[in-house]
Structure 1
């Protein structure tokens, strides 16, 4: 359900007069130019300012927004006939059509739940051609932008053509991170009518966003500063790739055994699964695993499994090789040989660590042989540090 500021037919026409400086959109016009995009999907297009600009650049543009009142304003703009306007959501985006998809301003932050955000990203990936680009911005939570909004958005009165004088006032209504809520109040002087619009934004940090993109099959290509808000926003550029990372469930036990065989046989070749099952020290990494402990599986667009990573909680009386504490799960991971070197391992690791953080885990541990330089580099890039070792292996820990 769109906020009234976008959906109310009395408020939607006020959006542009009260926010006339859209220099923030210059960066997206430049992204379209430099990427060579000819077909652009503008999700959350609002009153259509960017969509019309991109059409003027010669792009074929689809503008989608759930707020019909905002789309009505967009359709009334000069050049709007060159844009295909859709009242809807990302689900309504054409499949495999866009070279570039964009979400500007606060669009990426209106998806408040993990499920809604993930579904939107999946729909955007579906809408992209293979190798297509997604560009969007999101405010950096560490800058605590909401603390300066009251000063920045002081009450303002404008004489709006066809409406008369209108005063817009802002107030912060709630901060319950990662959610921040605020209210816009519009007073119409000619009639005395007062209309309020309540909004809530979700603040996600860079690590969280990158993991969410990797999980749905979007490879993070670049993370930039927003030119109009340096140091306060991230602009993400992510490219569609032909595989994604999904949560592991109970039916994935076979894939975990296969991944364990790859991991155990990294030096001389896969260890037969039957042999793993007979080796209690290795078998415990899969035996007793349940989905609530955490796990992810990489699959290509045809459903072929490319690898898996999972967490295993073990008791002190029966620990794993990388045991640290009973409340610190130990990580295992294996990637199919043909998929190695293509970023599958990095994606599995990033998505699993982010899921562990959201599940409230304080840390994740693992054991890696000292001469397994490829795996060590992967884990160290992900923030794991050595905390001990025995024999020819080291125990690494990643605090969350």
Structure 2
């Protein structure tokens, strides 16, 4: 389910250096401020950038991730003491514990099978109060982002805290139906060491997201294609950003 960047401390450092605060974080913080949401879940929190900011804004934040190396890096950051850090995944969530839940940073794509995705959505619905919000992002498969995932299209230099630079690139091979893409990330260090990390990404279109959310007990309230709240397909961001609301359970 999770990239090696989140498990190898050397790659966690590279990941953290490559992902400073961005416009997507501004978007999530604005969404969080739209309503009174004292108790917040960040599922798949990574190295904790968003969780720490949400806690700094006064929210009671629980940040959950299965990767210990990632959580270790998160705990070392300023402001980390305000966050409740949990090693685990959606199986660890308590019923009715949150007013809002976030699946940020394309975490949704790493839940590859239908069973895992459905299990996560049902667990998230159970963990939210009625009318609690689920906020998630996923790349829009209609934009076919994997077409650029080769060395020529993705090679970049990542500067670490000690001033050294790691050369990184990504290679992606889509399945025949393009519903999944096998991805390998390469990291070349100055001393010649090359580390790699492999994962499979699952891309769900707008219809699939809406249908699976509805089946898990959510109502899609808003759905955007970009971080400036453009409609799907009308932004160069190539995203599907969903704000869904937990509906009351029907029946016993």
Mapped partners of 1:188, 1:124: distance in 2: 39
Correspondence list, 1:140-155, <5 A: 140-150=140-150, 154-155=154-155
SS in 1 for 2:41: strand
Partner residue of 1:186?
187
Aligned with 1:240 (options 237, 240, 246): 246
Number of aligned residue pairs: give it: 245
Mapped partners of 1:301, 1:30: distance in 2: 35
Q: TM-score, normalised to structure 1's length?
A: 0.58
State the 1:151 CA deviation. 7.5
Deviations, residues 235-271 of structure 1 (Å, cap 9, x unaligned): 111111123xxxxxxxxxxxxxxxxxxxxxxxxxxxx
SS in 2 for 1:11: helix
Partner residue of 1:344?
none
Correspondence list, 1:28-47, <5 A: 28-47=28-47
Partner residue of 1:106?
106
Mapped partners of 2:127, 2:111: distance in 1: 18
State the 1:38 CA deviation. 1.1
Change (3 A) 1:189 1:103: same
Change (3 A) 1:159 1:37: same
Change (3 A) 1:161 1:213: same
Correspondence list, 1:266-285, <5 A: none
Mapped partners of 2:139, 2:159: distance in 1: 31
Superposed CA RMSD: 1.9
SS in 2 for 1:142: helix
State the 1:152 CA deviation. 8.4
SS in 1 for 2:100: strand
Does the CA contact (< 8 Å) of 1:183 and 1:197 recur in 2? yes
Change (3 A) 1:158 1:107: closer
Does the CA contact (< 8 Å) of 1:242 and 1:301 recur in 2? no
User: Could you list the runs of 5+ residues in structure 2 that have no partner in the other structure?
Assistant: none
Mapped partners of 1:138, 1:64: distance in 2: 19
Change (3 A) 1:152 1:108: farther
Correspondence list, 1:351-370, <5 A: none
Partner residue of 1:201?
201
- Please, which moves more after superposition, 211-220 or 172-181? 172-181
User: Could you list the runs of 5+ residues in structure 1 that have no partner in the other structure?
Assistant: 244-299, 303-400
Partner residue of 2:130?
130
State the 1:136 CA deviation. 0.5
State the 1:39 CA deviation. 0.9
Mapped partners of 2:209, 2:150: distance in 1: 27
Mapped partners of 1:153, 1:96: distance in 2: 44
SS in 2 for 1:223: strand
SS in 2 for 1:62: strand
Deviations, residues 198-224 of structure 1 (Å, cap 9, x unaligned): 122111111111110111111111212
Partner residue of 1:223?
223
State the 1:162 CA deviation. 4.2
State the 1:121 CA deviation. 0.2
Mapped partners of 1:206, 1:61: distance in 2: 29
Q: TM-score, normalised to structure 2's length?
A: 0.90
Mapped partners of 2:222, 2:157: distance in 1: 40
Say which one has the larger Rg: 1
Correspondence list, 1:50-199, <5 A: 50-150=50-150, 154-162=154-162, 164-176=164-176, 177-190=178-191, 192-199=192-199
